[in-house]
Copies of this chain bind each other. A is one copy, B any other.
Amino acid sequence: MNCSSWVATGADHILRPRLTEPVAIIGATGALGFGLAVRWARAGVPVTIGSRSQERATEAVARARGAVPEGEFDGFENARAAGAAEVVVLSVPFRSQSETLTNLKGALRPGQLVVDTTVPLAAAVSGRATRTLGVWQGSAAQQAQEMVPEGVRVVSALHTVSARTLSDLGHDLDEDVLVCGDDRDDKRRVVGLIDLIDGLRGVDCGRLEMSRLAEGLTPLLISINVRHKTQAGIKITGLP
């Protein structure tokens, strides 16, 4: 994740260091995915925007370039986008998670890392956004792990960051992101990417199965948002 190459970017064509590995975001036309795209791009991360259609991906790239003119973006239909980077962020509603992963079966390849951000809100089946559904595998992240091709590893993260504040580049973030996964190096890689975004800190909170509890924070924060008319996030206290 350190300077591995120099790339010409932006309108001015000035060579600047490529600070990080690129990231592909599946569902980057949604609020969370788009917020991640522009925040990462502003931090120097090359971002591939994935959408269900090439047309919407192209439109989102234009919108992202408007927000971050110096950003390095491209945009493709999800399956092609998923092939564009080693780290693939899955940012789709729970309702579409399973279908999206089925569609990506041929696109993902061994060695890739999927960062699953899905939260099984009961709103997916017309229930409340302050409740979760029980997922057979334990959590949306574990469902993702079951569905990706052999050799693709899943890390779960980014459940507690408000999509709205994330996409508002004028808003100063100051919160933590819980990261769950079974491989320490994978988590370090994802924490490294999260830490690139100003005001976010990635915190390893254990194995992938802990995602069941981390995913539960989203409806809890939604409930807090309703009561306190805010966009709440979380911080872990007591860390070194």
Instruction: Show the binding face of A for B, using Cβ within 8 Å.
Output: 130-132, 162, 165, 174-175, 178, 203-207, 209-210, 212-214, 216-217, 219-221, 223-224, 226-240
Contacts and interface: CB of A to CB of B under 8 A. Distances in A.
Nearest to A229: B240
11 contacts: A130-B206, A206-B226, A213-B220, A214-B220, A217-B217, A230-B238, A231-B238, A232-B237, A233-B237, A234-B235, A234-B237
Given A210-B223, A232-B239, A234-B234, 8 more contacts: A132-B213, A175-B237, A204-B224, A205-B224, A207-B223, A213-B220, A229-B240, A232-B236
Contacts of A229: 240
How many copies of this chain are found per oligomer? Answer: 2
A interface majority secondary structure = mixed
Nearest to A131: B209
A240 B214 contact: no
A47 B46 CA distance: 58
Contacts of A223: 205-207, 210
Contacts of A230: 238-240
B231 A233 contact: no
Nearest to A165: B238
B206 A224 contact: yes
Contacts of A224: 203-206, 236, 239
Contact of A228 (B209, B227, B234, B239): B239
Contact of A130 (B130, B210, B227, B232): B210
A207 B206 CA distance: 28
A205 B219 CA distance: 10
B213 A217 contact: yes
Which of A207, A216, A229 is the most central at the interface, judged by chain B CB atoms within 10 Å of its CB? A216
Contacts of A240: 228-230
A72 to B, nearest CB: 30
Nearest to A234: B234
A205 B216 CA distance: 13
A232 B229 CA distance: 27
